[in-house]
Chain A
Amino acid sequence: MHSDRARLGLKIAAGFGLAFMHLPILLIFVYAFTTEDKSYQWPPPGFTLKWFAVTWGRTDVWEALSLSLKVASISTVIALILGTLCAAAVSRTKFFGREVISLLVILPIALPGIITGISLRSAFNLADIPFSFWTIVLGHATFCVVVVYNNAVARFRRVSGSLVEASMDLGANSFQTFRYVILPNISTALLAGGMLAFALSFDEVIVTTFTAGQQQTLPIWMLEELVRPRERPVTNVVAMVVVLVTFLPILAAYYLTRGTDTVAGQGK
């Protein structure tokens, strides 16, 4: 017989597990308000809001943040275009090597970031491409495409093929069919995929380390700050911002794709 009430031991274990995962994040928030700026001292000797002002005034933070936002936006746009096209090709048509291409597209997310990073770095070297903003974008696009592709391909399969034929039959050419039939049916999947891609790109460290030149994205900047401590709580303030910037889109993506299990061409 199943008991609806879990046993006390199990409850405590679950509580500890959750605390272990989330308390460190809470600590980061707490240290953003501490008055001690040389070391992380527990308990904090006092609380202050001055680090927010200090952070606001630091140009290096603004440069890193704007670079990260630009990289994430452009990688996401590239991923949306390529991922959608690729998903359309794989789910709509049958061609020689389709399964192989499907696998090759997904591979970058299965590969450790360090492999992607090293291989891209040596490729850029071989091709004599100087490290720049665009090499970072290319590196990020490799895994952002996968995220969009995965979301889009699942939705494409659910948009039944006869919808496209019906649209063409009613006089719409390929572009109109995409605009009025396919896009409305896959838009939430693209939104979710795009947000996930943005969040992944925004906090990426490993691939960026290998493909960036002198520029620092926000996560790289934070790593540097930890090594050379100066006004430590500034890092914590930035960390809070990063958590919010990445958490909100993921949450939104979750709510947008929830409850859309019955779409397009199901249920005759």
Chain B
Amino acid sequence: MTSAIRFSGVSRHYGDVKAVDRVDIDIAEGEFFAMLGPSGSGKTTCLRLIAGFERPTAGDIEIFGQVVQGTPPYKRNVNTVFQDYALFPHLNVRDNVAYGLMIAGQMKATRQKAADEALEMVALGGYGDRKPSALSGGQRQRVALARALVNKPKALLLDEPLGALDLKLREQMQEELKVLQRNLGITFVFVTHDQSEALSMADRVAVFNDGKIIQVGTPEAIYYRPEQPFVADFVGSSNVLPPEFVAKLTGTKAHGAVRPEAVSLAAQGHAAQVKTVSFLGTATRVSLDVAGTPMTMLLPKGAVIPKSGETVHVDWAADDLHVMGA
């Protein structure tokens, strides 16, 4: 596979703050790549480095094999969907979408036809004459998407594009974006702080913290085999077991991770104090204190539910315990 975007030792410092600290990324052509992390972890800065709004303090960035050091945003073959959509308020929806084509010097009839087709693609046919202010948040999001895609970029950069939408609309857009990416076959780089969004949409996920990439891998690898306690904790709230605990079980002194759904009540096993019990609908979440280590367990519908304050025994299958760094 050819590489679409490659970072080699890229850093971006603001004074003493290392927003991005020696990051290496290799995004393949046609890949749906998610950059996941808490706010301030450097994921958005990485996206802005690709778009050209920021310049790296150190390191090289390649876009489709070309080093883009000093190339301004308007000469890069990538387009961005902004977090606040950044639709031009003085233009109607069609002219917004046709903006890139107008700059590229296309004839008015040609670019308006292309804009209308792009609007059809995002299910907004017939909205061309409206002003962006007359659209809902979800519709603006689609216009921003059409405005970027109409230029046929080799890679599309999405900066938390679904952050401002309500839950139902967000889930629907997640599906649509995935389908769109499969159909177009272009590279998507997707920035989000929502772990379920990253896991459900991406081919690969890079987990950011403090300007560094902590782990890159498929959603399954990130979810089941976290390499550091931060990943286990941030991606889907795994139970992180301290090295001493893990050493007693496996002999290896390293952090361990157990998924909450892998933990169940057992006749024998680890004695645990039940702290809180929360009903979630499809499952029940139980917070436990296992010899000083806080853990959570997800019990499926129909299971025996302990009461808070009770002392129970819990256990998990040996291969559900993932030893980090092993």
Contact = CB atoms under 8 A, between A and B. Distances in A.
Interface of A: 160, 162-163, 165-173, 176, 180-181, 184-185, 262-268
Interface stretch (B56-64, B81-89, B186-194, B242-250): B81-89
Contacts of B86: 160, 162-163, 165-166, 265
Nearest to A172: B103
A58 to B, nearest CB: 47
A165 B53 contact: yes
Given A160-B84, A180-B102, 14 more contacts: A160-B86, A162-B82, A162-B83, A165-B82, A167-B88, A168-B52, A168-B72, A168-B74, A171-B151, A180-B103, A185-B90, A262-B133, A264-B90, A265-B84
Contacts of B87: 166
B151 A170 contact: yes
Contacts of A262: 133
B236 interface: no
A170 B84 contact: no
A95 to B, nearest CB: 15
Given A171-B151, A184-B90, A268 B74 contact: no
A185 B104 CA distance: 22
Contacts of A266: 89
Contacts of B88: 163, 166-167, 181
A173 B74 contact: yes
Given A160-B84, A265-B84, A268-B84, A169 B51 contact: yes
Contacts of A173: 72, 74
**Most A C-beta atoms less than 10 A away, residue of B80, B83, B103, B164:** B103
A172 B75 CA distance: 9
A170 B72 contact: no
A170 B99 contact: yes
Interface in B85-144: 85-90, 99-100, 102-104, 133, 137, 140
Interface string B170-206: 0000000000000000000000000000000000000
Given A162-B82, A171-B151, A264 B99 contact: no
Contact of B89 (A167, A169, A263): A263
B137 A166 contact: no
A268 B144 CA distance: 12
Nearest 10 CB-CB pairings of A with B = A170-B100, A166-B86, A162-B86, A168-B73, A184-B90, A171-B103, A172-B103, A169-B80, A171-B74, A264-B89
**Most A C-beta atoms less than 10 A away, residue of B52, B88, B147:** B88
A170 B147 contact: yes
Contacts of B72: 168, 173
A75 to B, nearest CB: 29
Contacts of A172: 74, 99, 103
A100 to B, nearest CB: 21
A166 B82 contact: yes
Nearest to B83: A162
Interface in B214-256: none
Given A184-B90, A268-B137, A176 B103 contact: yes
B100 to A, nearest CB: 4
A171 B98 CA distance: 12
B93 to A, nearest CB: 14
12 contacts: A162-B83, A163-B88, A165-B80, A166-B80, A168-B73, A169-B74, A170-B148, A173-B72, A176-B103, A180-B99, A181-B88, A265-B89
A171 B100 contact: yes
A268 B99 contact: no
Given A162-B82, A162-B86, A267 B99 contact: no
Contacts of A165: 51, 53, 73, 80, 82, 86
Nearest to A267: B133
B164 A268 contact: yes
A166 B83 CA distance: 11
A267 to B, nearest CB: 7
A180 B84 CA distance: 20
Nearest to B140: A268
**Most B C-beta atoms less than 10 A away, residue of A166, A170, A180:** A170
B114 to A, nearest CB: 13
Contacts of B102: 180
B41 interface: no
Contacts of B99: 167, 170, 172, 180
B82 A185 contact: no
A184 B88 CA distance: 10
B167 to A, nearest CB: 17
B296 interface: no
B79 A170 contact: yes
A170 B103 contact: yes
A139 B164 CA distance: 51
B89 A268 contact: no
A267 B73 CA distance: 26
A171 B151 CA distance: 9
